[in-house]
Amino acid sequence: MATYRTTASVLRLRSGPGMDQAIIGRLPRGTPLHGLGAPVHGWLHVQAVLLDGALTGWVSAQHVGPTTGAPHLPEPPWMAIARQEVGVREYAGAQDNPRIVEYHQATSLQASDDETPWCSSFVNWCMLQAGLSGTHSALARSWEHWGGRLREPRVGCITVFKRQVPGNPGAGHVAFFLERIGNRVHVLGGNQSNSVCVGNYPSADLLSYRWTA
């Protein structure tokens, strides 16, 4: 699954693959797009990264190009798995999303709700589905010493951030690297806006890029 940028001055994001589909957004030139599948008759299903969040829809393939924000290396197998989970989100109210509960089972905590922080559970689950061993911990910063450190990131590498939480100096967040834009690091992860989606975090909060040993 490739990562793209828009090349038109303004590109319409549509609800489906076709000119007759509703316009759900207008994307300025250079907007990062993360591919969610193979092209369909000249249209790409993408998630557009915007300043106030992300939008998922369809764009004309003739108006996008490859990003130059990250090394052009093959994506690791766990990224295809992670991308398929985009859109999974917490349920409102007392009910719990069983998919998120399933993510938790990849850790020793094995939480049974979708309110327990689950970014590390998601990463562990993706690695398990890819036939690899993660940290088995629900703590985001357990990934800080997993595998080996990368000096420069590549798409899919484990990305660990610190978080400023009063009374919890060990707080953190973990997700999969997509690209760096300015002073922000864009990642695909779980428990981002209560869902699996693309988010971005300050470079100043970055702790480590990790890759399987």
Would you say residue 69 has pLDDT above 70? no
What share of the chain has pLDDT > 70, as a percent? 93
Question: d(Cα 187, Cα 175) in Å, to the nearest integer?
Answer: 6
Place of tokens 């060990």: 170
Predicted local confidence at residue 52, as pLDDT: 65
Would you say residue 176 has pLDDT above 70? yes
What share of the chain has pLDDT > 90, as a percent? 58
Looking at per-residue confidence, does 155 or 3 come out higher?
155
3-state secondary structure (DSSP) of residue 185: strand
Condensed to tens digits (0 to 9), the pLDDT of residues 45-63 reads 998 877 667 889 999 988 8
Min mean pLDDT across 73-87, 124-138, 144-158 is at 73-87
DSSP assignment of 109-163 equals S---SSSS--HHHHHHHHHHHTT------S-GGGGGGSSEE-SS--TT-EEEEE-
Condensed to tens digits (0 to 9), the pLDDT of residues 19-43 reads 999 999 988 888 888 888 777 888 8
Q: Tally Cβ neighbours within 10 Å of residue 199.
A: 21
Q: Cβ distance 134 to 123 under 8 Å?
A: yes
Condensed to tens digits (0 to 9), the pLDDT of residues 90-110 reads 999 999 999 999 999 999 999
Question: d(Cα 141, Cα 126) in Å, to the nearest integer?
Answer: 17
Q: Which amino acid is at 109?
A: L
